[in-house]
């Protein structure tokens, strides 16, 4: 047996499957797998929602025909170190290779490593690590060989990397002066921070490990790789670098269920780090490049991270005990390492070595204070935030004040609009209402106070209003006050998988799940349009507060008794001809096509000129992009046929005036079905959207109330034969209506207002 692949495993069967799949695909197949089932990290056993041990047997059985795989268990001592040591003890291969169960390999990683190790007769061959947030399918679909991915391997390391370039400068200097081996540069020097030093993607001759008694330190749960790697580098001289042998380190987008070790935040991590550092430096003995690099990383940690905590900490724990602990270690760091720090950091370290806590606190407070002032001066949002925390939340909360916001202040629309209008009509003058609206010219009836999102007034009212009515999440920095009532209306019956039902988060913020979890804990009430949404929200949001299945307030207008008159008035207002039928095209956004957070791309896949030519006699088309879309559709020269209503406030009104809806995966069709008018699905990128980006709750090929269309020609055909389609889909449409529109009846706003604002149990 050439290689023993050692995989510690606790939970995350979906991770493990990807990991083993990547082994199955290896071009080198002379290896065995030792899967070591570990217990959950002891710090996590009490944490709500974290998954307990998940049995790998079924998965393992599926791979037995492809390679030898044997399961071991950690016993009294647990943790990654203990698991890997079991691997070292039981490996029968010539080489050992540590692979984490949440990571995976390129198809030729093992081959490249082993070939190079054999060719050069090396005891250690190491490759590179590539970071990703995605599973194999998505990763390999998007990975480009020539885009050099940064080898950092943890969020902590990434954060350190952004906090100053001292380490970079120092590394360069040290490397020039001391000329360490390439392996030391690659495995210690190039890694940011202590945590990124990793035992992964190393192919190591087992006999050498055993002979030199090199094991992982089982007393350390978090930073054990550090001393292992350092001891390997100290002991092994014939080492070869194989940059093309790539290991994919998968970052965890769901730290709520599956926190990566780097995402676990416990006090003891600090002590672990110090112990790891101390034992490693001791083991290394005389000072050398490795210990100098480690020392510098420790100083960086102190000056970048540790000291910023001093001000934030509620207790004096950081200031006293940890200061002393830190001092004990830093004192022994040689002068020449310290002098290479930048001036402010150098002064901090000087005070630390002197043991002068008071001076350190003063320096840090002044430094952070001035940074904050600079930030406030240059950034009005930061100033509003500052006032929110330090002034506005200290003022008394107003019992009858309500703040409303729809789609980040982009429009006066959606359920908040209809809740507001009902509240204003049914209880005039009883509530002071504030609308978050970015365009101050937007007309809002009943005299609401208008404020711009993230302005000072916004921060003021958010802090003082008892009631909050939003259809998306509140900003991250908003803190719920005692007595606050948060009503989350949400913005659609879900077709696309949401939050914790999503395996991948391909959008602009990969930590979406974590943020969502924190923010949704604040919601007292969540609106649902139907039983299906209620069940989905409970599971996908891990939502345990009250879900009010009252129907969508935004759909009340679709049942308005004066609907016909409203349609005529709206067509007049928008200049839409009354002698033609109206098509509404309202697609959604694509998670992977963005310019930045909340700014997504959209390219129209319909040729408007052709549409006009073929349909213009009978129809006009209303184009409506999603509120995330930054691109705008050009309708120049087609103004009598195409109307770009992407900026129009309220899509519910556009439903009213349309005879036919074309959408894709947007939740708009759940609402539109209330009108019982025909719906077409232009799903030109179905496979990618369903299989890679999101996944759906419904079987889109079977359960939709209209046909799936893939080309412009299909769309034109369907429109020309719309009568036939209506007939063909009648049965499915009825079923769909029963399932998703059964609650809506025009009174949803009333039901939710009476529940939340008047405390009635049922209306
Ligand atoms: N919307 C719109 N115009 C579009 C698409 C959507 O005005 N072209 C509005 C509709 O009110 C729709 C809502 O935005 O119901 C949500 O849009 P989706 O396309 O469904 O996408 P998303 O914002 O991701 O919300 O549970 C629902 C999901 O969260 C989907």
**Residue 33 β-bridge partners:** 5, 69
What is the rounded distance in angstroms from the CA atom of residue 649 to the CA atom of residue 406? 10
**Residue 104 β-bridge partners:** 248
Residue with the smallest CA separation from ligand 1 atom 2 is 626
Q: Is the CB of 410 under 6 A from ligand 1?
A: no
Q: Which helix (H) or strand (E) holds 344?
A: helix 343-354
Ligand 1 centroid vs 187 CA: distance in angstroms? 46
pLDDT for 12-71, tens place per residue? Answer: 999 999 999 999 999 999 999 999 999 888 887 777 888 888 899 999 999 999 999 999
Q: Is the CB of 749 under 6 A from ligand 1?
A: no
Nearest to 587, CA basis, from 509, 680, 506: 680
State the DSSP string of 723-734: HHHHHHTHHHHH
- Intervals of the chain under pLDDT 70: 145-168, 309-319, 508, 763
Per-residue pLDDT at 161: 42
Ligand 1 centroid vs 210 CA: distance in angstroms? 59
Mutate to test the pocket of ligand 1, among 528, 536, 626, 695 (most ligand atoms within 8 A of CB): 626
Ligand 1 nearest atom to the CA of residue 587, by list position: 8
What is the rounded distance in angstroms from the CA atom of residue 737 to the CA atom of residue 663? 17
Tell me the CA distances in angstroms from 188 to 8, 84, 193, 204, 304, one per residue in order. 23, 20, 9, 17, 19
Ligand 1 centroid vs 705 CA: distance in angstroms? 18
Q: In what order do the strands lie in the sheet with 642-644?
A: 642-644, 619-623, 581-585, 660-663, 679-682, 708-709
Mutate to test the pocket of ligand 1, among 667, 689, 696 (most ligand atoms within 8 A of CB): 667
- Conformation bin of residue 551: beta by default, left when phi > 0, alpha when psi is -120 to 50: left
Size of the chain in residues: 763
Interhelix angle 224-235/268-284, rounded to 10 degrees, is 10
Ligand 1 centroid vs 665 CA: distance in angstroms? 9
Ligand 1 centroid vs 747 CA: distance in angstroms? 22
What number of other Cβ atoms are within 10 A of residue 307's Cβ? 24
Ligand 1 centroid vs 684 CA: distance in angstroms? 18
What is the rounded distance in angstroms from the CA atom of residue 596 to the CA atom of residue 228? 40
Tell me the CA distances in angstroms from 129 to 149, 184, 505, 754, one per residue in order. 9, 16, 21, 56
Tell me the CA distances in angstroms from 367 to 326, 361, 364, 455, one per residue in order. 20, 10, 5, 26
Beta-sheet strands, E only, within 110-253: 124-132, 202-205, 239-250
Per-residue pLDDT at 165: 55
Q: Which helix (H) or strand (E) holds 469?
A: strand 465-470
Q: Is the CB of 497 under 6 A from ligand 1?
A: no
Per-residue pLDDT at 195: 87
Per-residue pLDDT at 152: 40
Residue with the smallest CA separation from ligand 1 atom 6 is 626
Report angle CA 670, 671, 674 to the nearest 5 degrees.
Answer: 100
Report angle CA 461, 463, 469 to the nearest 5 degrees.
Answer: 65
Residue carrying the six token digits 């949400």: 490
Q: Is the CB of 624 under 6 A from ligand 1?
A: yes
Q: Which helix (H) or strand (E) holds 462?
A: helix 456-464
Q: Is the CB of 651 under 6 A from ligand 1?
A: yes
Q: Report H helices in 27-108.
A: 57-63, 80-90
State the DSSP string of 233-247: HHH---EEEEEEEEE
Whole-model pTM: value is 0.89
Q: Which one-letter DSSP state was computed for residue 212?
A: T
3 state DSSP class of 388: helix
Per-residue pLDDT at 153: 41
Judge contact between 696 and 690, C-beta under 8 A.
yes
Q: What burial class does residue 441 get, using C-beta atoms within 10 Å of its C-beta: 0-12 exposed, 13-18 middle, 19+ buried?
A: exposed
Q: Is the CB of 345 under 6 A from ligand 1?
A: no
Q: Is the CB of 644 under 6 A from ligand 1?
A: no
Q: What burial class does residue 397 get, using C-beta atoms within 10 Å of its C-beta: 0-12 exposed, 13-18 middle, 19+ buried?
A: middle
Q: Which one-letter DSSP state was computed for residue 499?
A: G
Per-residue pLDDT at 592: 84
Q: Cβ contacts of residue 106 below 8 Å, gap of 6+?
A: 22, 245, 246, 247, 248
Q: Is the CB of 492 under 6 A from ligand 1?
A: yes
């Amino acid at each position: 047996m050439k290689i023993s692949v050692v995989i510690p495993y606790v939970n995350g069967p979906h991770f493990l499957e990807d990991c083993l799949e990547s082994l199955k695909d290896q071009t080198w197949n002379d290896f065995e797998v030792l899967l070591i089932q570990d217990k959950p990290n002891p710090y996590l056993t009490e944490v709500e929602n974290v998954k307990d041990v998940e049995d790998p047997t079924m998965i393992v059985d599926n791979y037995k025909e492809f390679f030898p795989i044997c399961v071991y268990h950690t016993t009294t001592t647990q943790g990654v170190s203990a698991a890997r040591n079991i691997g070292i003890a039981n490996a029968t291969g010539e080489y050992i290779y540590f692979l984490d169960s949440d990571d995976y390999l390129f198809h030729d990683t093992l081959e490249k490593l082993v070939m190079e190790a054999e060719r050069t007769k090396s005891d250690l061959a190491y490759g590179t690590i590539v970071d990703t947030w995605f599973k194999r399918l998505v990763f390999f679909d998007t990975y480009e060989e020539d885009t050099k991915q940064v080898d950092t391997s943890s969020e902590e390391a990434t954060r350190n990397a952004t906090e100053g370039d001292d380490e970079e400068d120092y590394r360069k200097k040290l490397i020039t002066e001391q000329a360490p081996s390439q392996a030391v540069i690659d495995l210690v020097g190039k890694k940011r921070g202590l945590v990124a030093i990793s035992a992964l993607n190393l192919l190591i001759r087992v006999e050498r490990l055993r002979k030199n008694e090199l094991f992982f330190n089982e007393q350390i749960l978090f930073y054990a790789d550090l001393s292992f790697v350092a001891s390997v580098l100290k002991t092994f001289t014939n080492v070869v670098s194989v940059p093309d042998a790539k290991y994919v380190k998968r970052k965890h987008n769901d730290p709520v269920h599956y926190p990566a070790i780097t995402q676990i935040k416990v006090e003891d991590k600090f002590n672990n780090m110090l112990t790891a550092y101390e034992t490693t430096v001791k083991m290394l003995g005389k000072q050398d490049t490795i210990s100098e690099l480690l020392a510098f990383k420790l100083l960086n940690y102190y000056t970048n991270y540790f000291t910023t905590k001093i001000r934030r900490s509620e207790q004096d724990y950081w200031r006293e005990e940890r200061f002393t602990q830190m001092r004990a270690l830093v004192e022994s760091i040689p002068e020449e390492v310290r002098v290479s720090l930048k001036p402010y950091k150098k002064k901090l370290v000087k005070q630390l070595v002197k043991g002068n806590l008071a001076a350190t606190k003063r320096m840090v407070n002044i430094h952070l204070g001035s940074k904050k002032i600079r930030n406030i001066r240059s950034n009005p949002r930061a100033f509003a935030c500052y006032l929110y925390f330090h002034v506005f939340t200290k003022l008394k909360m107003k019992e009858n004040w309500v703040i409303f916001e729809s789609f980040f202040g982009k429009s006066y629309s959606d359920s908040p609009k209809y809740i507001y209008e009902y509240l204003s009509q049914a209880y005039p003058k009883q509530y002071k209402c504030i609308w978050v609206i970015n365009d101050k010219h937007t007309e809002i009836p009943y005299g609401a106070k208008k404020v711009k999102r993230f302005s000072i007034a916004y921060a003021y009212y958010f802090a003082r209003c008892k009631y909050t009515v939003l259809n998306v999440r509140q900003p991250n920095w908003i803190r719920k006050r005692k007595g606050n009532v948060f009503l989350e209306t949400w913005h659609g019956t879900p077709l696309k998988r949401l939050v914790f039902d999503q395996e991948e988060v391909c959008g602009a913020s990969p930590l979406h799940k974590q943020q969502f979890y924190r923010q949704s804990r604040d919601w007292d009430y969540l609106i649902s349009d139907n039983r299906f949404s209620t069940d989905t929200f409970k599971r996908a949001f891990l939502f345990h507060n009250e879900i009010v299945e009252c129907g969508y307030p935004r759909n009340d207008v679709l049942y308005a008794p004066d609907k016909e008159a409203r349609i005529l008035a709206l067509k007049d207002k928008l200049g839409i001809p009354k002698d033609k039928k109206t098509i509404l095209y309202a697609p959604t956004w694509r998670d992977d096509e963005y310019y930045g957070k909340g700014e997504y791309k959209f390219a129209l896949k319909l040729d408007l000129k052709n549409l006009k030519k073929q349909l213009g006699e009978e129809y006009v088309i209303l184009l409506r992009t999603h509120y995330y879309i930054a691109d705008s559709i050009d309708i120049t020269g087609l103004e009598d046929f195409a109307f770009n209503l992407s900026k129009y406030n309220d899509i519910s009104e556009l439903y009213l005036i349309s005879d036919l809806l074309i959408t894709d995966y947007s939740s708009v069709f759940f609402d539109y079905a209330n009108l019982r008018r025909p719906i077409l699905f232009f799903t030109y990128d179905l496979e990618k959207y369903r299989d890679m980006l999101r996944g759906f709750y419904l079987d889109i090929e079977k359960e939709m109330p209209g046909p799936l269309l893939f080309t412009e020609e299909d769309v034109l055909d369907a429109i020309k034969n719309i009568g036939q389609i209506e007939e063909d889909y009648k049965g499915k449409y009825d079923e769909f209506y029963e399932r998703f529109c059964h609650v809506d009846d025009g009174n949803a706003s009333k039901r939710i207002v009476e529940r939340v604002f008047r405390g009635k149990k049922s209306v």
